[in-house]
Amino acid sequence: MKNFLNYLWQRLLTFFVVLFIGISVLFLLPRLMPSDPIDNYLQRLQGSAGQALTGEQVAEIRKALGEMYGIQGSLIDQYFGYLKRVFVSHDFGPSLAAYPKPVSELINLALPWTFGLMLVSTITAWLLGNLVGLVAGFFHNRKFATVLETLGILIYPIPYYIFAFVLIIFFAFLIPAFPLTFVVMPGPVTFQKIVDIIYNSFLPALTLILVNFGWNVLGMKSLAYSTKEEGYVLYARLKGVKPRRIMYNYVARNAILPQITSLALSLGSIFGGALITEMLFSYPGIGMLMRSAISNGDYNLLYGTITITIVAVAISTLAIDLLYPLFDPRIRHR
């Protein structure tokens, strides 16, 4: 028990250090952007008002917005105010682009879409890729294994936005089987609405599955091939154990361990990987919020969306550190 508590304390300390460093770096990034969010807002305000604001009005608005968005005072004052809002009040304030809506409300609306799409596609690609890679590595001298490995090699280096464009051309233009953009009518959740969500999410999900599939195939194939040459596998083969049982009980259980780490890191970075996919398919998730925040210089919205990614990666890394001994009995908490 003492060893576990020491192990837990060390991992929690690493978790908070990583979280603190990531959020501190995030504080500086928007301030290096060339655009000023308050200037952008004042320009839009003057355009919508149809008349120029007086100097006093501009100064009053600038002061109020500076206090509201935490960009008033020195850089040190802004930094400590930012840390207080993140760690104490958990409030990123209102969005400048969608004023007066709070950032938390926008994130709560977009988060389920991104989480559902990326979680399902990541886990599906991981399961299929590891299964195909296991078969290709275990039966590496068979023709069908060579075909499977070649498939993974062909898919792996292709960027996912290329896959997205190809799928859009084929299944949205040449064969209009799926919609080009995500369109789901608002309202209560019904069976028909669930069907519409699955139908509209098929192409972006297929894009992400194909991209991650190739990487998982190659990784698992290499691990399975090296594991099947281990002494305990050879001993089981000489004892007459059936090849299928050797593949699943001896090779797969040992080769899957590094892939579990890869899955945890992939789950932690699912929000960051949604940006281009959601832009191409007009998917209403975190990626679209990031795009809106960058284009409008919206500090608060950018803080909120990227903080979600940082926290997800840190939590996934902590979880895999704590759960890894359950998957591998050779590891002990020390």
pLDDT in tens, the chain (334 residues): 666 677 777 778 888 888 888 888 877 776 666 666 666 666 666 665 555 666 676 677 667 666 666 666 677 877 887 777 777 766 777 777 676 778 888 888 888 888 888 888 888 888 888 888 888 888 877 777 777 777 777 777 777 777 778 888 888 778 877 777 777 766 666 777 788 888 888 888 888 888 778 778 888 888 888 888 788 888 888 888 888 888 888 888 888 877 877 777 676 556 555 667 777 787 888 877 877 777 776 777 877 888 877 777 777 777 777 776 666 666 655 5
pLDDT in tens, 262-314: 777 676 556 555 667 777 787 888 877 877 777 776 777 877 888 877 777 77
Q: What is the DSSP string of 199-226?
A: HHHHHHHHHHHHHHHHHHHHHHHHHHHH
Which pTM does this prediction carry? 0.72
CATH superfamily of 103-327: MetI-like (1.10.3720.10)
pLDDT at position 79, please?
80
The residue ranges of every structural domain in the chain are: 37-90, 103-327
pLDDT score for 52: 62
Residues 6+ apart with CB under 8 A from 313: 22, 265, 268, 269
Q: Which amino acid is at 225?
A: Y
**Preceding omega of 100 cis (within 30 degrees of 0):** yes
Would you list the DSSP string of 180-195? SS-----SS--HHHHH
Tally of CB atoms within 10 A around 207: 24
Chain centroid offset of residue 299 CA: 20
Per residue, the 3-state secondary structure of 155-175, as one string, reads HCCCCHHHHHHHHHHHHHHHC
Give the residue carrying structure tokens 């890729």. 129
| Residue 199 pLDDT | 82
For the record, the structure tokens of 133 come out as: 């890679």
